Amino acid sequence: MRTQLGFPRAWARPLNAALLIATTIVLTASISSASTIGSTFQTGTDGWKLVAEYLNGTTQLFDPNFVPLGGVQSGYLWTWDPLPASRTYWSAPDKFLGDQSGLFGGNLVFHLMQTTLDKPLKTEAPEYAGPDVILEGGGITIYAAIADPGTSWTAYSLAFASGTWKKMGDNSVASDAEIQQVLASLDKMWIKGEYSYRAGDPATNGGYPNGDAFALSLVHVPDPLTVSLLAFGGGCLLARRSSRKAAV
């Protein structure tokens, strides 16, 4: 008896295994050579900073705390609210900045967590809620909105493509050309950290008795080639699995 592809049924299982192995080799080789930028926080802060931004636009930098275990893959960063009456962002290091044209069509992936869902800024103090993720470059500032993180690691993925980002100022949708202009000379990548009105240090402020804090883990930007190959490899395996079911 033969399968739909014309091979003896006894060959079907070895053929499936061979296809899986070949696909894995291609994907592994592609991933190892891809220009993925990332921070896994295995040994330290990896150059990430905290930026406290006042409503008038002035800023102040702070160093986050590093914990080697308990993150998405290894470690993570955390902090209390470093400065009252300000918005707090995670500021990406230099390796995420500069000419990142090749990342257009890829995704910015990151993970956030907070220790309380009480008193969200969006309802308690919307003036401090601010844009969630900010990119600036080429004379353009764009931003994206995300849902508030939970009390366990919450994953986010933002596509570098039209439909995800808006332009600061007029809030119009950023075009592909404008996103490419930003990525070509990326000067700033900020990810919002503070989402609760109670994210303060109880040791210095009695108004925050619960010690509510917020954290960042595993930030990476796989290039479009890696994403496409992963999707292609997954599609090949699904198609092959469907063929097996049809042949039975």
Burial (CB < 10 A; 0-12, 13-18, 19+), residue 172, is exposed
Question: What is the residue-averaged pLDDT of the chain?
Answer: 76
pLDDT exceeds cutoff 60 at 37: yes
pLDDT exceeds cutoff 80 at 161: yes
Beta carbons within 8 Å of 58's beta carbon, 6+ residues apart: none
How many domains does the chain divide into?
Answer: 2
Q: Please tell me whether residues 105 and 124 are part of one structural domain.
A: yes
- Residue 147's pLDDT is what? 94
Residue 32 lies in a domain: no
Q: How far apart are alpha carbons 144 and 157 in whole angstroms?
A: 11
- Residue 26's pLDDT is what? 26
Domain membership of residue 238 as a residue range: 1-26+226-248
- Residue 148's pLDDT is what? 93
pLDDT exceeds cutoff 80 at 246: no
Q: Residue 128 CB: number of other CB atoms within 10 A?
A: 19
Q: Between 133 and 226, where is the model more confident?
A: 133
Residue for token pair 């009456």: 85
Average pLDDT over every residue of 116-145: 91
pLDDT exceeds cutoff 80 at 94: yes
Amino acid at 240: R
- Residue 225's pLDDT is what? 41
- Residue 50's pLDDT is what? 95
Could you tell me the pTM of the whole model? 0.74
Q: Please tell me whether residues 243 and 140 are part of one structural domain.
A: no
pLDDT in tens, 40-68: 999 999 999 999 999 999 999 999 999 99
Residue 184 lies in a domain: yes
Q: Please tell me whether residues 117 and 190 are part of one structural domain.
A: yes
Q: Please tell me whether residues 192 and 243 are part of one structural domain.
A: no
Q: Between 130 and 184, where is the model more confident?
A: 184
pLDDT in tens, 164-189: 999 999 999 999 999 999 999 999 99
Q: How far apart are alpha carbons 39 and 47 in whole angstroms?
A: 9
pLDDT band per the 50, 70, 90 thresholds, residue 80: confident
Distances (CA, A) of 17 to 42, 204, 237: 35, 60, 10
pLDDT band per the 50, 70, 90 thresholds, residue 248: low
Q: Please tell me whether residues 149 and 203 are part of one structural domain.
A: yes
